[in-house]
Structure 1
Amino acid sequence: MSHTKKTDTAQHPEPSGLSFLNPAAPEPWASFIEQIDRVAPHMGALSKWVDTLKHPKRILVVDVPIHRDDGTVAHYEGYRVQHNLSRGPGKGGVRFHPAVTLNEVMALSGWMTIKNAAVNLPYGGAKGGIRLDPRAHSRDELERITRRYTSEIGVIIGPGKDIPAPDIGTNEQTMAWMMDTYSMNVGSTATGVVTGKPISLGGSLGRHEATGRGVFIAAREAGRRSHVPIKGARVVVQGFGNVGGIAARMFHEAGATVIALQDHSATIGNEAGIDIHAALAYSASTGGLKGFPGASPLSVDDFWLIPSDFLVPAALEGQILPERAATIKTRIVVEGANGPTTPAADDILRDRGILVVPDVLANAGGVTVSYFEWVQDFSSFFWSEEEINSRLERIMVGAFEAIWEMADERNVSLRTATFIIACQRVLAAREQRGLYP
């Protein structure tokens, strides 16, 4: 195959990530722009519209002041970026994290544009965030922060305008507060303004597991075509929340051996295999993997050197830099996080014959089931979890097949093939709509 040749969260967020940040990583927006530049030569007659993707349509920066529990007033900086709305309303999560920046949110919104188009959802790309550490705030403070933020961005969100969802540091309770705040401000219950809500408020069955399930489906499909079966495979996972934890569990249940895990609290390994069900229970009760008795502590550097069949980075962006890409010992990288591999590192992995299943395909399961939730809210008719998982499987497998075929046809990487398909769809919509006024 040509795909690797040179020719081309929950109550405990996943993860706090400070130990993963590397100052040597390029700014996320710069990485996104480089990815767009790389795909531009494949756009043909649509190339005149490529600069559309280098300019977010709308950026909102807001002050989020609240009374803290001790009576003091604290201010937080929040963002909502709508990157592109050519194919439909904006769609993308809201991140609560101490390292959130506008540059990061811009890049995440751009990747959402590509991701939604790659799996052919009728959405544009958007993203939001507030720079704070949710672990350092009480539940009441988080509610006040969420409600004030929602009120501040309320002028640009809505069921037909821009639909937020959970991301790192946020969860279904956050979405319930956002939905209620927006509904109070517009004077009617608007369940479709956010996705990832509790089931009792119009949430969808299967949403909690959707991103991790999509990562597993993408890994399975890549393995099938690369002759790397899941059963018996050695798997290493970075991040152990709603994405990494669920993907690890599905690998485990499919007969793979998960030999190393890393979260915000610890890096652990067990050559005989980690009991993922036990690790999930332990993490849920203690807030992290530190001290888990079923594995031994590892250094961060050793984590990236473990020989494996599948490596799943499911934490934050900028994790696989050129230095790590040169020494990683795996056959397939499946990107559960957004932007975990820099473009320079991507080139090194390609040259080394390591297949990379890109984030804009691999982690699209979450937004796909968010789309199902949005549709169900509009119709007030809800599907079974079996129907949800079946529809997710069909969309993910269909998208993977189209992207694999494009990679073969153009002799490019899976990432470039994904960007070709997605950018063609976005730019065709831009051309067909024209410019107004």
Structure 2
Amino acid sequence: MISSVIDSDIYRGIFVSEEMRSVFSDESLMQKWLDSWSALAQAEAEAGLIPKDAAEKITEKADYELFDKTLIREGIVDTTHPLIVQIRQFTEAVGGREGGYIHWGATTQDIMDTAVVLQIKEAHSILLKQLKRFLTTLLNHAEKYKNTIMAGRTHGQHALPVTLGYKIAIWADEIGRHIERLETGADRYLMSSFSGAAGTLASIGNDGLKVQEFFSKNLGLKQPVITWHVQRDGFAEYSSTLAMIAGTVGKIANEIINLQKSEIGEIEEGFKDGQIGSSTMPHKRNPMICEYVVGLVRVVQRSASLGFDAMIQEHERDMTFWTTEWSYIPQISILTSGALEQMQGILERFIVHEDNMEKNLNLLKGLIVSENLMLKLGEHVGRQVAHDIVYEASMEAFESDRHLVDVALENSKITEHLSNEEIRNHLNPKEYVGLCSEYVERVEKKWGKR
């Protein structure tokens, strides 16, 4: 029986990246435990602590397909220990005195933490690949729509004209920083864990750091400066980065939802024949994929907060919060990847209704650029006086449902300083988009090479 959308055969197609899901499968986890034991045996053989033939045989048998997953699951319940049953099976599989060198000098948390880091390393690679593709798509759209003018909105109301490319470039810039966060964060949390029972490596002695170095190198991970059994800031950083990535993706999805509203109709997530918006209203073209994305992003952000809770550890090792990592790290990795996958599809097929953008831009009949008229008038009468004059004209235009141009042309306080042509030019939305184009170019210059 399935109880999670991550594993559900019904739901997972809309929530989950299958590539990421495989990284956090039982088979992957078991293999990474085995890879950690194998790497440790090789490191200890290299340091002269165990026989080389033992390391070779341990590595030869480090294949999850040789193990019984059902027996391991039942054994964890019986023993209440997460690794001892697989250690026993592994020892039996290797056999002889060589099997006795499995897990030499290690503690359970060493192997389990290292396995999780190996999973995160794979997840890291997948996320970077997805984010770079996503960034490229955003940059292409930013360039394509660099001069596509639309109403900018603040507090849910028309503010000043912007361009769609400018809006998308803001999203791209954020995604670029997330890529940087992942790349720089790797040095802090893609670290091996081999420190022994209390973290002192007393089980290995003077060769401990040498073994730790070889172990890390064998796995392609960083060697820690000191034991991190009770240092969980690395996982907290990874989690917070994923929560931020999810936040950006969710923001993009939410913006499309808002711009797809019937009253606005400027962007549509894309609709294909056979897609159903409503079970009762045949006409509906709902932004349902974006809604799915916003929903799962909220799950990611709530779950990622466990990374901060897990930083509160007691003494030299503490299992109370450690166990949450086995649950929330796979979940946030899979769902964040799923959100990116869904939004990538949306951005590749979304529809831009430039005619509606043009219509909405003129919805307030010139009021959207009242600032431009005010600043021009302010050159003659001062900003505050100009504000009051244009404010009165704007309220008159709004309440009488007339174009601000017409009201302004009748206002002697304005016409005594500005010509008719100046008034018309300064109330043309297309002439007041500021540095939208330049901003797009700055974002393209910074992140284009990504």
TM-score range, shorter chain: under 0.3
Larger strand share, 1 or 2: 1
Larger helix share, 1 or 2: 2
- The structure whose RCO (Cα within 8 Å, separation 6+) is larger is 1
TM-score normalised to structure 1 length? 0.24
Query: Who wins on radius of gyration, i.e. which is larger?
Result: 2
